[in-house]
Amino acid sequence: MVKKGFKVMKKAFCLVLAILMLCAVILTGCSEKEVGEDIETKAALQAIYDNAKAALGDAVFVPMTLDYEINADTCANYTGLTAEQFAEYVMDGYTLIAAINVQTFDLALVKCKDYAAAKEVKKLIAEGFNPANRVCAIPDQAFVIESGRFVLLGGMSNDTAEAFQKAFTDQFETKAGEVNKFFERGEGDTGGGLGGLDLIPG
């Protein structure tokens, strides 16, 4: 009788343990759900620009911009990614550039296929993007930061960069990674000649 009762308790314990393990799997799956696929990249980029500009106010100049879609043909110019890298990791992307070529401003938002892809794209942009090829006047700095499946690339003046980084981190539910300021303009650096002119797609 005791032995039979022990077997029943053992089965009950195993059942409870199985239910707890199933709950843990479900909860883990929910906490790791990757968000952002349905967010419109172009609208998100414009919101980042508008929020940063509003935060800076009239005291800091932020250029007027033109927007362009980033695709496999233009990604090398806008992000430093190759067409193959863009196809492998990216869903879509948009860029805002200074409407006047001699003004220093460059902002690109890329939506990646998943969180892991975003981390890889962040690294590839830092390795492949050359700010001197993007604008006539070289920016004070170029940085890249990721949040969830989104990656933001900025090339701009030092007095505007922090506001755009904050606007980006505030835009999404996911926690942003560290800012990688991979370029700083050295003393005496000049612009890239006609570099700004190749920003306009043919």
For the residues of 68-116, what is the DSSP string, one character each? EEE-TTTHHHHHS--HHHHHHHEEEEEEEEESSTTS--EEEEEEESSHH
CA distances from 171 to 34, 54, 131, 177 (A): 16, 14, 25, 13
Q: Report the sign of the C-alpha dihedral through residues 38, 43, 46, 48, in that order.
A: negative
Separation CA 152–CA 129 (nearest Å): 13
* Sign of the dihedral through C-alpha 62, 65, 68, 73: negative
Per-residue pLDDT of the chain (202 residues; tens, 9 = 90+): 545 554 545 555 555 455 555 544 444 444 457 888 899 999 999 999 999 999 999 989 999 999 999 999 999 999 999 999 999 999 999 999 999 988 889 999 999 999 999 999 999 999 999 998 765 678 999 999 999 999 999 999 999 999 999 999 999 999 999 999 999 988 666 554 333 333 333 3
pTM of the entire structure? 0.79
By the 8 A CB rule, do 153 and 135 touch? no
> How many CA atoms are closer than 13 Å to the CA of 19, on its beta-carbon side?
6
